[in-house]
Amino acid sequence: MAANVGKFFESVGNFFSGGDQIPWCDRDVIAGCEREVSDAQKGSSDEFFKECIMRLSWALVHSRQPEDVQRGIAMLEASVADANSNANASPLQLREKLYLLAVGYHRSGDHSRSRELVEQCLMIAPDWRQALTLKKMNEDKIKRDGAIGIGIAATAVGLIAGGIAAAVARKK
């Protein structure tokens, strides 16, 4: 019985929290990536510098800090724009950038934008499990937010109707 009660409360908690399985990144990892980017700027190859930027972007969008996630989104938006203007850009690199950007938007709560980016990833690699999992998480979150919104609206309508009924009953 206690196990069933525990599962119930866990499922309610996951319903409201979203319960995603995307990994988190700590501040010390981000700081290490920032040092790596700084060192790479001092004479490393352009390819190595871009790899360091991608690692930093990954760390930022996986951060628990909203300002880090926003910084990662900005870096990835610029990188995707650069990749789209470069005819020699690898589709797999674009897929990675789009996925990380989708993770950033998912973490920042813009699930519709995240879903759009995941769809672009899936056009490049239709069977990519990470993208499919993120797509499902976004769709679940959108449905859950809709259900919560409907519940709030129904409660508000009920309260208003109850208030009107009480006012009418007092006048009689």
| Per-domain residue ranges of the chain | 3-145
pLDDT score recorded for residue 145: 67
Mean pLDDT of the chain, nearest integer: 84
pLDDT score recorded for residue 88: 75
In CATH, 3-145 is 1.25.40.10:
yes
pLDDT score recorded for residue 154: 67
Amino acid at 61: V
pLDDT bin (cut points 50, 70, 90) of residue 96 is very high
Between 42 and 155, residue with greater pLDDT? 42
pLDDT score recorded for residue 171: 78
CA distance 19 to 60: 20
- Sole residue written with tokens 């813009």: 110
pLDDT digits (tens, 9 = 90+) for 12-70: 444 444 456 789 999 999 999 999 999 999 888 989 999 999 999 999 999 999 999 99
Per-residue three-class SS string for the chain: CHHHHHHHHHHHHHHHHCCCCCCCECHHHHHHHHHHHHHHCCCCCHHHHHHHHHHHHHHHHCECCHHHHHHHHHHHHHHHHHHHHCCCCCHHHHHHHHHHHHHHHHHHCCHHHHHHHHHHHHHHCCCCHHHHHHHHHHHHHHHHHHHHHHHHHHHHHHHHHHHHHHHHHHHC
**Percent of the chain at pLDDT exceeding 90:** 56
- Residue 149 pLDDT > 90, yes or no? no
pLDDT digits (tens, 9 = 90+) for 123-136: 999 999 999 999 99
